[in-house]
Amino acid sequence: MEVTPLASLSLTHVSYNPSDPLSYLCAWLALVPQTLCIIYVTLLYSSREIEILLMFAGQLACEAFNFALKRLIRQERPRVMNGKGYGMPSSHAQFMSYFAVSLGLFLLVRHRPPGGRTGGGGHGPQERVLGSLLVAGLAVAVAASRVYLSYHTPVQVGVGCAAGVGCAVAWFVVTGWLRREGWVDWTLETRLAGLGRWRDLLVEEDLPEGGWRRWMDRREEKKKSTIANGFDTDKGRKQR
């Protein structure tokens, strides 16, 4: 009886030095892109925001570009690492660079929440800058971890970062053109978009703040209703 040889699904397989705490941390950082993909899908399902869909589409296109570059350049990984596939450019570095730059461009350039302009709630300029810097720092940490774990050379990581930044800027320009020319609005008016409940509020509305305001208004209405019903009950008792 022949035994079928088994293969390893290496999507989350990371080699690290168990005696090195920093190596252990780098192994966890290697899982950040997979985590972000889960976050993308969760946000798409829960918010149905077209801006998130556009950003995720650009992220997938960036990954496809990395796939093509690796097979075009065909540069091996460092010899000390037996990782599968080619190493130039680093897909982790490219993924995180695209994400960090895309999010930064959105928060600092495209996002215009009313509270952020007036200072009366919402995400202010300082919060948006801080958020952009934190995500950029995470991208740097993930990229550096690939070198520390010997999955890539510094040059491979550098090229990956450059490719990710280039993809993010190019896609930001393209999506800006799509918005100006009315293609985004046209898409949202289609029957398919209506069935999916897709919308475009994120650019000009702070969704957490907007949801909070609606929640507070609902609580106020409930309190008023409770008070009114209480007065009616007391009045009815007095009449009886």
Note down pLDDT in tens along the chain; length 240 residues: 677 777 666 667 788 888 889 999 999 999 999 999 999 999 999 889 999 999 999 999 999 999 999 999 888 888 766 567 788 999 999 999 999 999 999 999 988 877 544 444 456 788 888 989 999 999 999 999 999 988 899 999 999 999 999 999 999 999 999 999 999 999 989 999 889 889 888 888 777 776 777 788 888 888 888 877 765 555 555 444
> What is the structure's pLDDT at 240?
47
- Quick check: 14 and 31 in contact, CB under 8 A? yes
- Quick check: 49 and 199 in contact, CB under 8 A? yes
Give domain limits for the chain.
21-205, 206-240
Strand segments (E) across 49-109: none
Q: What tokens appear for 126 in the block?
A: 């300082």
> What is the structure's pLDDT at 104?
93
Q: Name the one residue in this structure whose structure tokens are 């966890």.
A: 28
Which of 28, 58, 31, 55 has the alpha carbon at shortest distance from 43?
A: 55
- Quick check: 94 and 62 in contact, CB under 8 A? yes
Sign of CA dihedral 93, 60, 107, 134: negative
